[in-house]
Amino acid sequence: MDKSKPTLLVVEDDLGLQKQLRWSFEQYQVVFAEDREGALKQLRRYEPDVVTLDLGLPPDPANASVGLKVLEEITTLHPQAKVIVVTGNDDKSNAVKAVGMGAYDYYHKPMDPDSLGFIVERAFRLRELEKENQRLVEREARKSPLEGVVAASTEMLEVCKLVERVAPADISTLLLGESGTGKEVLARAVHGLSNRAEGRFVAINCASIPENLLESELFGYEKGAFTGANKQTPGKIELADGGTLFLDEIGDMPLALQPKMLRFLQERTIERIGGRDEIAVDVRILSATHQNLEALIAEGAFREDLYYRLSEFVITIPPLKERPGDALVIARAFLNRYSHDLGRKVKGFSDGACRAITAFSWPGNIRELENKVKRAVIMTDGTQVTERDLGLAPVEEQAPLNLKQARDEAEREVISRALSFCDHNISKASDALGITRPTLYALLEKHGLQP
């Protein structure tokens, strides 16, 4: 087969028609299947862009429900494929039903290769446009400083807006949030969106370095300043000149070192340990902590004047449990990453796993979620991760969602949750919500949500 040609899967049990269609579609790589098992096998093997599906499949060619079931499985396994259903001339109701289930188009027998060829060609063109659009989106995402931020909730989208707003301002910014909420990722985003993006981003964790070494790590030292100082060594502040210095866990900075840090913030000059010369440094300061700095100030463990120097702009990052829908979106991002990195053919989460991820409180936030997904990718025996693989308790299926009784805010949250649960498959999401696809598109536009 010529793999340079786009792939067309033809699900048809009539061998005569197969021969006719093979001759008519020479411009494509055509693969055939005669029944449900063959169709799913060929779908997994070739991942075709376009599928023609005869709804009258064995064992009962007169019963279109067999073909509709195959259609449902195709749209689940390969939702990007454009499925063209083929029906009898007197079977319009099932053709319309198939389109409602996610089919791209339908065609009535008797077969006219030219007419069917026109529909197939149009489907391939649309699929190619979608792939090109996806390539452009991914290319832009790789360029975006916010590429590491995965969010769907209103709460985190507001945080992203704050990041975009403060990034060009070149002022000291303090990021507050529980451990594992992604403070460093957002700090890198601030740097990437600032006019210092071409400079260095230098990070130091104030809690991970012993108190007697932190000063030399920050300010550097001259040769001979202390035992073991065999050469002149610039500190992190000096290395970040022209760029951004990120002080993680600033609440753990020793009280004795805080006056020297305050003087640097006021004067923008440093002296290396053992040195006498003042060195001017042009650097932006970003800091982060999971602690309550105002409480530390009241206890005398943190200087109030240093706090005000660091907190010219404050961004508070909500914990994962307060970000509806984000856990599942982030979990899918981790699943894609680790299934690729670990060489595992894991395609997604089971419905039970989706419910468990959504219901869990995630006390360890994103870091805990990442660890569980990574472990699950290693442990799972199938193509879908279950709640057992994640080490989470099963959650009973929720009652159907009733949009008619919901107010605007609740309606938006419900739609966001449904899209996350269905991996942004519009057909599945509309079925879960009990509405038509046009209605769902209208609601997406109303609430400013992306399909």
Query: Which residue segment(s) compose the domain that 127 sits in?
Result: 7-141
Q: Looking at residue 397, what is its pLDDT?
A: 65
Cα–Cα distance between 447 and 16 in angstroms, integer? Answer: 51
Do 278 and 346 share a domain, yes or no? no
Residue 346 domain flag: yes
Do 291 and 364 share a domain, yes or no? no
Do 312 and 325 share a domain, yes or no? no
pTM of the predicted model over 0.75: no
Residue 398 domain flag: no
Q: Which residue pairs from 251-256 have beta carbons closer than 8 angstroms and sit at least 24 positions apart in sequence? A: 251/206, 251/289, 251/290, 251/291, 251/293, 251/296, 251/302, 252/206, 252/207, 252/289, 252/291, 253/206, 253/214, 253/302, 254/211, 254/214, 255/300, 255/301, 255/302, 255/303, 256/211
CATH code, domain carrying 65: 3.40.50.2300
Work out the average pLDDT over 391-398.
81
Please check the confidence at residue 106 and state whether its pLDDT lies above 60. yes
Do 179 and 277 share a domain, yes or no? yes
Tens digit of each residue's pLDDT (9 = 90 or more) over 84-96 = 998 876 677 888 8
Burial, 277: exposed, middle or buried (Cβ in 10 Å; 0-12, 13-18, 19+)? exposed
Please check the confidence at residue 400 and state whether its pLDDT lies above 80. no
Please check the confidence at residue 143 and state whether its pLDDT lies above 50. no
Residue 378 domain flag: yes
Q: Looking at residue 437, what is its pLDDT?
A: 84
Domain boundary among 117, 141, 165: 141
Residue 419 domain flag: yes
Residue 186 domain flag: yes
Do 196 and 65 share a domain, yes or no? no
Q: Looking at residue 268, what is its pLDDT?
A: 94
Tens digit of each residue's pLDDT (9 = 90 or more) over 288-333 = 999 999 999 999 999 999 999 999 999 999 999 999 889 998 999 8
Do 438 and 360 share a domain, yes or no? no
Work out the mean pLDDT of the chain and round it to a whole number: 87
Do 301 and 160 share a domain, yes or no? yes
* C-beta of residue 359 within 8 angstroms of C-beta of residue 395: yes
Lowest mean pLDDT among 73-77, 256-260, 306-310, 370-374: 73-77
Work out how many domains the chain is built from and give that number: 4
Residue 40 domain flag: yes
CATH code, domain carrying 167: 3.40.50.300
Residue 395 domain flag: no
Q: Looking at residue 137, what is its pLDDT?
A: 60
Do 345 and 300 share a domain, yes or no? no
Do 65 and 92 share a domain, yes or no? yes
CATH code, domain carrying 357: 1.10.8.60
Residue 397 domain flag: no
Do 381 and 310 share a domain, yes or no? no
Do 173 and 95 share a domain, yes or no? no
Do 54 and 128 share a domain, yes or no? yes
CATH code, domain carrying 423: 1.10.10
